[in-house]
Chains A and B, each alone.
Chain A
Amino acid sequence: MALTLASIPINEGFLASKPYNEMHLTDGASRPHYLRYAQWLADQPPERLAQKRAEADALFHRVGITFAVYGQEEGAERLIPFDIVPRVLPLEEWIRLEGGLKQRVRALNAFIHDIYHDQQILKAGVIPAEQVLCNSQYRPEMQGVDVPGGIYAHIAGIDIIRDDAGEFRVLEDNLRVPSGVSYMLENRKMMMRLFPELFSEHRVAPVDHYPDVLLDNLRSVAPTGVADPTVVLLTAGAHNSAYFEHAFLAQQMGIELVEGQDLFVRDEAVFMRTTQGPQRVDVIYRRIDDDFLDPLVFRPDSMLGVPGLLTAYRAGRITIANAIGTGVADDKSIYPYVPEMIKFYLGQSPIIGNVHTWILRRPADKDYVLAHLPDLVVKEVHGAGGYGMLIGPAATKAEIAAFRKQIIATPERYIAQPTLALSTCPTFSDHSLAPRHIDLRPFVLSGRDVTIVPGGLTRVALREGSLVVNSSQGGGTKDTWVLES
């Protein structure tokens, strides 16, 4: 599963401050919203918990909640480890988060619309024009194209961390094809199956209506004039690492799970090949990247897309969710400007802040960063997955010197952030509980309205001291509870 988190692959030994513990106060007592759970946990015999953990593993395998591992033997499918200790959020914290997420995604959608129309934010000088227009994720094909409701990022996965002061901050916006929501739903199902008693003792806000909300959201952005829109989910196929999620969501919404070969374009309209002949399609919830969508416009070698799709799209005959070209708004080089977008488009101040970010094209920021390189993380703005990254506290003097040279030569290619102390939550490691670092990915749906199912996917770094919650690097997941009272 492509749960890529741009967190910093370092050990907490490098952290200057102590991380925030989600469950315990500094004196070891439980935080109020964890009191009842902690009591229950203390009452459980260790054998019962061990047996429940084994049961969860067996069930995940049988149901086939797995992600495919590339380049391995047939049938190489792995489980994402599931931890039975939930991450609990009190209602008041959630309400604040929810407000901040909605605000942020509204601003991001306004930004994408603006960029592909009048570009007022560039004219106003809030963001340097070349940052946007020279970005490889900017799609000139989208210039002047109107999409239903002006919505581009219909499904957004916003990665949230909690810093050492207990403040929530946005680490990254995922506006292309964010994944992981199926784990949010399956984790809840698993918890209710393993520990039903916990749910009668706690008022946990339900999440299982997510597929209904998603379908309603997708139908609400159908091309104008379509009374009863047909929605399909476009997947790259059974060998894609997130295939389970694609199949799961299509089934839960009761829509067809299609591959590129199942669709074709005729007279600027999209059809799917069925046993009863061609059937018109109105909305495509696509789970493949822009580059693969239409071999006539983007990558000509793509076998996953639909030739002619962009023509139908530009003609307004089909809705693609998320829209083409949203990547321009979730790029690392644009991220530092999101708080300013919120002010520019909504006239509000951001409810949830960013992680403090130095933009090295600014001389003052550059000077500060050059003076503090051993304490900071420096990222190349177009780099992904840890390439082109300097982790100050873990780097050698020679590496720092080499990076210093590159920064001085091309400062506009870099941003810098402090090393982050992600908050921790007690997690099973072998047979005992130990604090492990976590983050949170809520899923924000935009259509007629902006909606969020309470909670999201909590990812946990299972290795002691690790700050990497990525599933490909030993990350696991937890059920996430928002308590209603």
Chain B
Amino acid sequence: MLSRTADHLYWMSRYIERAESLARLVDAHYRMSLLPHSGETLAQSLRSTMTALHMEDAYKERHETIEPRAVFEFVSLDRDYGGSIFSCLRSARENARAVRGSLTSELWETLNSTWLDARALATRRTKQPDIGEFVEWVKERSHLTRGVTIGTMMRDEAFHFTRIGTFLERADSTARILTAHQRDLVPGADAGYVPDPSEWSVLLRALSAFEVYRRVYRDVITPIKVAQLLILRDDMPRSLLRCCKEVYSNLKSVSNDQSAETERRAGEMHAMLHFARMEEITAQGLPRFLEQFLARVRDLGDRVASDFLLPPAEA
């Protein structure tokens, strides 16, 4: 297939996945804001999440203080900020439109109407948009998009590049959410900081992992198990291991004569997580582990781009 087509498909699915990840984060914090006495914990969690997502500067240009309501609206609906959910939906649709001929008509119509609805919603925007309802809707649209992708697309290159985009983005997102909460996951790492258990449930809910945790561990929530679940569980759809496994297998399906090194690195990442133990990760330090992981995800993204998406003129 055309390199440019693969590029658009890859970014289309990354943007939809990103919109969903952001919606999940907003949703979890929004629920927390409805609880009594959540004030300081909520502000702290919002601050560290925005730092991990590199959103702080753009937010500070608009507001002086971290105000939950303002953060929710900024992340969800800010039309001028390229990282908002609204902008991600627009970018996903723009990428889809550029290759609409390579999508099934069901998939194109899903992405197109998602964008048309989002735009209609943002223009008739009231003083107090219902954030809870909006992020719930975004998650549904993302679920629908994924379902239509899996249910209607040929299992050809177009599909595999779409999936590579989805799982690289998801790996990145899960790692960033863990980064935002690393102080809560490594007790004692930050002297004098006492983790607040309600943050763990924010974290778990943001990753659809709350019920899963209960079922897997049948135990109270402990930081080490939370980390275990989100990093090393192969059967947990948003865990780092699961994402790496999917990236690796989809990469193997599109292999070309210059992609061997990229495949090797993806395979190495998968093997490393597959055979890792939580004790080793905490021994080297969770922050350092996550930092390295994010760097490797970024490296893989760059390599996918240069091997497949933007080959040099005479390649």
- Seen from chain A, the residues whose Cβ lies within 8 Å of a Cβ on chain B are 61-64, 74-75, 237-238, 247-248, 250-251, 256-259, 261-262, 264, 266, 272-278
Contact = CB atoms under 8 A, between A and B. Distances in A.
Contact of A258 (B2, B112, B157, B315): B2
Contacts of B161: 275
24 contacts: A62-B113, A62-B116, A63-B105, A63-B112, A64-B108, A75-B90, A238-B97, A247-B100, A251-B100, A251-B101, A251-B102, A259-B4, A262-B4, A273-B2, A273-B315, A274-B1, A274-B2, A275-B3, A275-B157, A275-B254, A275-B256, A275-B308, A277-B315, A278-B315
B256 A276 contact: yes
Contacts of B5: 256
Interface residues of B, number: 33
B178 to A, nearest CB: 32
A257 B101 contact: yes
Contacts of A247: 100-101
Contact of A64 (B1, B99, B112, B308): B112
B101 A274 contact: no
B295 to A, nearest CB: 25
Interface of chain A, helix or strand or loop or mixed? mixed
Given A62-B112, A62-B113, A258-B2, A277 B100 contact: no
Nearest to A278: B315
B191 interface: no
Given A75-B90, A237-B98, A259-B4, 10 more contacts: A62-B113, A238-B97, A256-B5, A264-B313, A272-B2, A273-B2, A273-B315, A275-B3, A276-B256, A277-B257
B162 to A, nearest CB: 13
A64 B4 CA distance: 21
The 4 closest A-B pairs by CB, nearest first: A251-B101, A247-B101, A250-B101, A275-B308
A268 to B, nearest CB: 15
Interface of B: 1-6, 90, 94, 97-102, 105, 108-109, 112-113, 115-116, 119, 157, 161, 254, 256-257, 308-309, 311, 313-315
Given A62-B116, A63-B105, A274 B3 contact: yes
B3 A273 contact: yes
A267 to B, nearest CB: 11
B2 A262 contact: yes
Nearest to B119: A75
A75 B314 CA distance: 34
Contact of B256 (A62, A74, A262, A277): A277
A248 B100 CA distance: 8
Contacts of B105: 63
Contacts of B115: 75
Nearest to A271: B314
A254 B6 CA distance: 16
Contacts of B254: 275
Interface-centre pick from B101, B102, B108, B256 (highest chain A CB count, 10 A): B101
A266 B314 CA distance: 9
A185 to B, nearest CB: 13
A257 B116 CA distance: 24
B2 A61 contact: no
Nearest to A272: B2
A248 B101 contact: yes
B258 to A, nearest CB: 8
A262 B108 CA distance: 22
Contacts of A74: 90
Contacts of B112: 62-64
A119 to B, nearest CB: 40
A258 B99 CA distance: 10
A421 to B, nearest CB: 41
Contact of A262 (B3, B102, B113): B3
Contacts of A64: 97, 100, 108-109, 112
Contacts of A61: 116
Given A238-B98, A262-B3, A62 B109 contact: yes
Contacts of A262: 2-4
Contacts of A276: 256
Nearest to A258: B2
Contacts of B313: 264
A237 B5 CA distance: 12
Contacts of A258: 2
A218 to B, nearest CB: 16
A378 to B, nearest CB: 43
A237 B100 CA distance: 12
Contacts of A261: 4
A177 B98 CA distance: 21
B289 to A, nearest CB: 32
Nearest to B105: A63
